[in-house]
Amino acid sequence: MARFKRRKRMFRRRKICRFCADSSFVIDYKNPRTLRLFTTERGKIIPRRISGNCAKHQRQLTTAIKRARTIALMPYSAALSHY
Amino acid sequence: MRRYETVCIVNPSLSPEEAQPLFDKLTDLIAAHQGLMVKLDDWGHKRLAYEIKKQTRGYYILFNYCGNGSLVKELERNMRLDDRVLKYMTVCVAKEVDEAAIKTEIEAAEEAAKVKESSVEPKESTAEAVEDATASEAQEQGPPGETLEPTPGEAEALDNAALSTEKEEELTDGKV
């Protein structure tokens, strides 16, 4: 019981949209380096509830990642290297 | 007129002399169909994220141009028929373009290219430039994908670690 209470009071860092916070951080399908921050090592797109992006930027990000996949700048699915 | 960007992946085994006629053909096509070539961006050899036609590397080139739908259709038809092109993708950047603004942009791009050329020439004679050249060559020798990978990879790993802890928190919250 005590454990639950402690959990409730626990401070959690508020997630902020990185693209809203920093306007120089641009979403572009030609720049896979930035896009890679928002995919898992398997190449899946990280959901909004985890990355903390706002809806508008998540939408732009999704199209950018999908475009980058089309021209082989990013993988559709990647093999895990350390297995 | 609309503004388009076409990324084209060309077979990496082609020598520059072999690839040039292909690029010339495509740029001529743009002019022939009432299009305006804004910029030709050469990305060079890159490692592909997945194999395309049994190739693991590709030569990337970006056409930035203005034109109508018929031009895109013709351009894509030509690339589809050409064996040297591995894959291509066209993206519409703007639905309406101001022709005057585009023309000034083209001029600016040409001038920038000239300045680049003129600044490169005198540099080559100095010793410093030689050092620069060797340094850049050394960078080029290693596959760019592999040499550049570690930093984003590490960042990603860190990010993933942070994200996974957050995820766990959320999951436990859900149970509560």
Taking only the tens place, the pLDDT of each residue in A16-67 is 888 888 888 889 999 999 999 999 988 999 999 988 899 999 999 999 999 9
Chosen for mutation from B42, B54, B159, B175 (greatest number of chain A CBs closer than 10 Å) is B159
CATH of A15-83, one of 4.10.640.10, 3.40.50.150, 3.30.300.130, 2.60.40.180: 4.10.640.10
pTM score: 0.66
Cα angle, residue B106 at apex, residues B105 and B109 outer, rounded to 5°: 85
Q: At what angle do helices B99-123 and B127-141 cross, to 10 degrees?
A: 110
- Nearest residue on chain B to A51, judged by CA atoms? B163
Q: pLDDT of B151-173, one tens digit each?
A: 444 444 444 444 444 444 444 44
Q: Dihedral angle at the C-alpha atoms of B166, B169, B173, B176, nearest 10 degrees?
A: 170
The domain spans of chain A are 15-83
| Residues 54-73, chain A, touching B (beta carbon < 8 A) | 67, 69-73
ipTM: 0.72
B154, with CB counted inside 10 A (0-12, 13-18, 19+), is exposed
CA atoms within 13 A on the CB side of B139: 6
